[in-house]
Chain A
Amino acid sequence: MDNKYTILELTDIAKEIRKDILLSISEAGSGHTGGSLGLADVFTSLYFNILNHNPQNPNYNNRDRLILSIGHVAPVLYAALANAGYFSKSELLSLRKLGTRLQGHPGKNHNLPGIELSSGSLGQGLSISVGLALSAKSDKKKWKVYTILGDGELQEGSIWEAAMSAAHYKLNNLIALVDRNHVQIDGQTNKVMDIEPLAEKWKAFGWNVLNCNGNNIAEIIDTYKIANSEKTKPTVIIAETVMGKGVPEIEGNYLWHGKAPSKEQAKLFINSLR
Chain B
Amino acid sequence: MKEYTYTETKDTRSGFGAGLHQLGKTNKNVVAMCADLIGSLKMDNFVKENPERFFQAGIAEANMTSVAAGLTIGGKIPFIGTFAAFATGRVYDQIRQSVAYSNKNVKICASHAGLTLGEDGATHQILEDIGLMKMLPNMVVINPCDYNQTKAATLEIADYVGPVYLRFGRPKVPNFTPENQEFKIGEAVMLNKGTDVSIFATGHLVWEAIKAGETLEAKGISAEIINIHTIKPLDKKAILDSVAKTGAVVTAEEHMLNGGLGDSIAQLLALNNPKPIEMIGVDDEFGESGHPEKLMIKYGLTANNIVAAAEKVISRK
Chain A bound to chain B = yes
Tell me whether A127 and B66 are in contact (CB under 8 A). Answer: yes
Residue in contact with B66 in the complex, picked from A108, A109, A124, A169, CB distance below 8 Å: A124
Chain A contacts of B63 at CB under 8 A? Answer: 127, 130, 158, 161-162, 164-165
In the assembly, what is the distance between CA of A165 and CA of B103, in Å?
24
Known: A118-B102, A138-B52. A132 touches B93 (CB 8 A): no
Bound together, the chains give a CA A55 to CA B65 distance in angstroms of: 29
Q: Chain A 54-96 against B: per-residue CB contact (8 Å), 1 yes, 0 no?
A: 0000000000010100000000000000000000000000000
Our pick among A117, A162, A168 for the contact of B102 (Cβ within 8 Å) is A117
Asked if residues B69 and A117 are in contact (CB atoms below 8 Å), the reply is yes
B273 within 8 A of A: no
**Residues of A close to B104: CB separation below 8 A:** 117
State in angstroms the CA–CA spacing of A132 and B104 once bound together: 13
Are A117 and B67 in contact, CB atoms less than 8 angstroms apart?
no
- Chosen A-B contacts, 26 in total, with CB atoms closer than 8 Å, are A108-B102, A109-B103, A117-B69, A117-B73, A117-B98, A117-B104, A118-B98, A118-B101, A121-B93, A124-B62, A127-B62, A127-B63, A127-B67, A127-B94, A128-B67, A128-B69, A130-B63, A130-B70, A132-B70, A135-B74, A157-B62, A158-B62, A161-B62, A162-B63, A164-B60, A165-B58
Q: Which residue of B lies closest to A139 (CB)?
A: B74
Query: 1/0 contact trace for A118-144 toward B, CB 8 Å?
Result: 111101110111111111101101000
Neighbouring B residues of A162 by C-beta, 8 Å: 63, 66-67
Smallest CB separation, A247 vs chain B (Å): 31
Residues of A close to B31: CB separation below 8 A: 135, 138
| Distance to closest chain A CB from B31 (angstroms) | 7
Return chain A residues, CB-CB under 8 Å to B39. none
Question: Quick check: A134 and B94 within 8 Å, CB to CB?
Answer: no
Q: A109-B101, A128-B70 are in contact. List 18 more A-B contacts (CB 8 A).
A: A67-B70, A117-B73, A117-B104, A118-B98, A124-B66, A127-B62, A127-B67, A128-B73, A131-B67, A131-B71, A131-B74, A131-B78, A135-B75, A138-B53, A139-B74, A161-B62, A164-B60, A165-B67
Contact between chains at A165 and B74 (CB < 8 Å): no
* Smallest Cβ-Cβ distance to A69: which chain B residue: B66
Indicate if A116 sits at the interface (CB-CB under 8 A). yes
Within 8 A of A (CB), among B183-230: none
Q: Which residues of A contact B (CB under 8 A)?
A: 65, 67, 107-109, 116-121, 123-125, 127-136, 138-139, 141, 157-158, 161-162, 164-165, 168-169
Leading 3 A-B pairs by shortest Cβ distance: A131-B70, A135-B74, A127-B66
Nearest CB on A from B16, distance (A): 21
Q: B280 in the interface, Cβ–Cβ < 8 Å?
A: no
Provide the residues of chain B in CB contact with A65, threshold 8 Å.
Answer: 73
B57 within 8 A of A: yes
Query: B103 — nearest CB in chain A belongs to which residue?
Result: A109
Chain B residue with Cβ nearest A109: B103
Query: Which residue of B is nearest A116, CB measured?
Result: B73
Inter-subunit contact A165/B102 (CB<8 Å): no
Q: Which residues of A contact B93 (CB under 8 A)?
A: 121, 124
A168 to B104, CA, bound (A): 24
Instruction: Determine whether B279 belongs to the interface, using a CB cutoff of 8 Å to chain A.
Output: no
The distance in angstroms between the C-alpha atoms of A117 and B98, with both chains bound, is 7
